[in-house]
Structure 1
């Protein structure tokens, strides 16, 4: 059952990531930044709320795992060249802050 919950969450998170990235990514990958920050906030919130294992599988591992993306972040950072350092730093700082905020809110 847990594997199905993860798959269901990812089936929503991954297409949502695609839509947001397609809509917002431009010269600077704002869409990737957005999904990583939102996913970090939601995951922090879920952890703080101590949701049960099924909810965590569905929302934490599945949805947030499908929504967020390290691989796209890494490739886009490399493509930005020298500007990639600032983008990477901003993504990491803001994502960690979002996770902390989600945890605090929870």
Structure 2
């Protein structure tokens, strides 16, 4: 096992635990937007932008960017929750959820990148 894989594995473990903890604090509820996943994806966009913008050393990028943020944020859960909303005929919440996730994620990533590159 190379050191690079170890950095990614440790970051991935910690990111998954952090995502679970945040999502449990802000649970998904029927008929409402999945705020837990939205929160971790928004936080992850901001933090990953900052990590990349800060020109961090390669091992930190592997640990924090690939490992931690890769498992902290979750595209598959976003899509699963959107499908659940659709199956419950919650079209407006589904479209709102997808819209605000992507609408906020890109500017948050840019803001994080800007903050990381100017700090």
Provide TM-score, normalisation by structure 2.
Answer: 0.85
Partner of 1:99: 109
C-alpha distance in structure 2 between counterparts of 1:7 and 1:26, whole Å = 28
**Counterpart-to-counterpart distance in 2, 1:75 and 1:26:** 12
Aligned match of 2:24: 22
SS of match in other structure, 1:80: helix
Structure 2 Cα separation of the partners of residues 71 and 18 of structure 1:
14
- How far is the alpha carbon of 1:97 from its aligned partner? 1.2
Q: C-alpha offsets along residues 48-106 of structure 1, whole Å, 9 cap, x if unaligned?
A: 11111101000000010010000000010111120211100100111111101101111
Contact kept, 8 Å, 1:21 with 1:29, in 2: the verdict is no
Counterpart CA distance in 2 for 1:44 and 1:66 is 15
In structure 1, runs of 5+ residues without a counterpart are none
Unaligned residue ranges in structure 2 (runs of 5+): none
* Cα pair 1:45 1:102 within 8 Å, conserved: yes
Structure 1 length as normaliser, TM-score? 0.95
1:46 has 2:51 as partner: yes
How far apart are residue 26 of structure 1 and its match?
Answer: 2.6
